[in-house]
């Protein structure tokens, strides 16, 4: 009997789903993990877990696994790292973020440059020194705030903000 390639699963999770459906319906299949094949590139640039079925079962098997194959191409919604809820929504980036980030970089570099170029001068201006230190410290605070604001997802359940991993 002829075998036919039913599908190629990019990961174990999907392969497991396909296999359990086929097992439930008593469809004989053969699994071949191309990712474990020592011949690199033997299956093209994207090796996966190939699942073969007999030609006679192909139509039936294909119909049953189609929802899985299709759903895997949809983007998976991130879940909340705190409560595990999938009810999350995307946070639009704060439009002040980029100017704030640039300002923090300027405030970071300016005092460093100031101290670097004035280090050989005899009479430092006390006020400028203090301003430079304040600018330097505020740049660190701003950078910290920017970092905190980069969370791009929010949990609708518990309100936790997080980055999509």
The residues binding Zn ion (CB under 5 A) are 80, 82-83, 85, 155, 157-158, 160
Nearer to Zn ion, 28 or 91 (CB): 91
Output the smallest distance, CB 127 to Zn ion, in A. Answer: 49
DSSP string covering 13-47: HHHHHHHHHHHHTT--EEEEEGGG-SSTTTT-SS-
Output the smallest distance, CB 86 to Zn ion, in A. Answer: 10
CB 79 within 8 A of CB 86: yes
Q: What is the Cα–Cα distance from 110 to 105, expressed in whole angstroms?
A: 9
Nearer to Zn ion, 62 or 160 (CB): 160
Nearer to Zn ion, 4 or 154 (CB): 154
Nearer to Zn ion, 21 or 91 (CB): 91
Output the smallest distance, CB 148 to Zn ion, in A. Answer: 18
Question: Interior CA angle at 80 toward 79 and 83, to 5°?
Answer: 120
């Amino acid at each position: 009997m002829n075998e036919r390639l039913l599908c190629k699963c990019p990961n174990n999770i999907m392969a497991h789903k396909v296999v359990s459906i086929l097992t439930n319906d008593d469809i004989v299949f053969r699994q071949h993990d191309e990712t474990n094949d020592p011949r690199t590139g033997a299956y093209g640039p994207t090796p996966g877990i190939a699942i073969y079925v007999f030609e006679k079962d192909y139509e039936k098997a294909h119909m049953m696994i189609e929802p899985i194959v299709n759903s895997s191409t949809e983007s998976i919604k991130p879940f909340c790292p705190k409560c595990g809820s999938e009810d999350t929504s995307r946070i639009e980036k704060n439009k002040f973020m980029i100017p704030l980030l640039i300002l923090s970089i300027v405030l970071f570099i300016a005092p460093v440059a100031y101290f670097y170029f004035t280090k050989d001068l005899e009479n430092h201006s006390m006020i400028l020194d203090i301003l430079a230190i304040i600018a330097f410290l505020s740049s660190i605070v701003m950078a910290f705030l920017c970092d905190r604001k980069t969370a791009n997802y929010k949990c609708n359940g518990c309100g936790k903000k997080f980055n999509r991993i």
